[in-house]
């Protein structure tokens, strides 16, 4: 599974061009593009992480190209979860909101307590 460049995110800084150990990154018609035949995911090089992804200033500019539906699904899922969990106190706020809504629903469902009637 080679890496690919999201051209909509790319700001054409050219950093990935200089760091790729296999010269897999090309510029075609002004757009940066990774040749999947040349990309080795940096495996077998002196690098321990994919250099294009590690150095890209856009965060999302260089991403792994999914090879099938489920790989694509999990890639998107992990991406979304990573974004959510990076938000400070996201889950705490989510839990507080959920708890509040849940307790409101419970209160609506509880039968009204009847006040005792006075005997005449």
14 binds ligand SF4 (CB under 6 A): yes
Question: Please, what's the b/e burial string for 87-115 (b: 16 or more CB within 10 A of its CB; e: otherwise)?
Answer: eeeeeeeeeeeeeeeeeeeeeeeeeeeee
- Residue 52 interacting with ligand SF4 (CB under 6 A): yes
Residue 25 binding ligand SF4, by CB under 6 A: yes
The answer to whether 13 contacts ligand SF4 (rule: CB under 6 A) is: yes
Q: Which residues contact 13 (CB under 8 A, 6 or more apart)?
A: 57
**To the nearest whole angstrom, how small is the minimum distance from the Cβ of residue 58 to ligand SF4?**
5
Instruction: State which residue, 18 or 72, has the beta carbon closest to ligand SF4.
Output: 18
**Choice from 8, 26, 31, 32 touching ligand SF4 (CB under 6 A):** 32
CB of 18 to ligand SF4, least distance (A): 9
Selected from 28, 44, 58, 103, the binder of ligand SF4 by CB under 6 A is: 58
- Asked if 15 and 57 touch (Cβ cutoff 8 Å), the reply is yes
For ligand SF4, the binding residues (CB under 6 A) are 3, 5, 10-16, 20-22, 24-25, 32, 34, 39-42, 50-52, 55-58, 61-62
């Amino acid at each position: 599974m080679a890496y690919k460049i999201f051209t909509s995110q790319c700001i054409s800084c050219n950093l990935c061009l200089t760091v790729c150990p296999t010269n897999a990154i090309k510029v075609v018609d002004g757009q940066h593009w990774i040749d999947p035949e040349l990309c080795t995911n940096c495996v077998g090089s002196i690098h321990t992480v994919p250099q294009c992804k590690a150095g890209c200033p856009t965060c999302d500019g260089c991403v792994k190209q999914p090879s099938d539906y489920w790989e694509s699904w999990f890639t998107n899922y992990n991406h979304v979860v990573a974004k959510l969990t990076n938000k400070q106190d996201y889950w705490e706020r989510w839990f507080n909101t959920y708890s509040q809504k849940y307790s409101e629903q419970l209160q609506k469902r509880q039968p009204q307590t009847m006040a005792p009637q006075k005997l005449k």
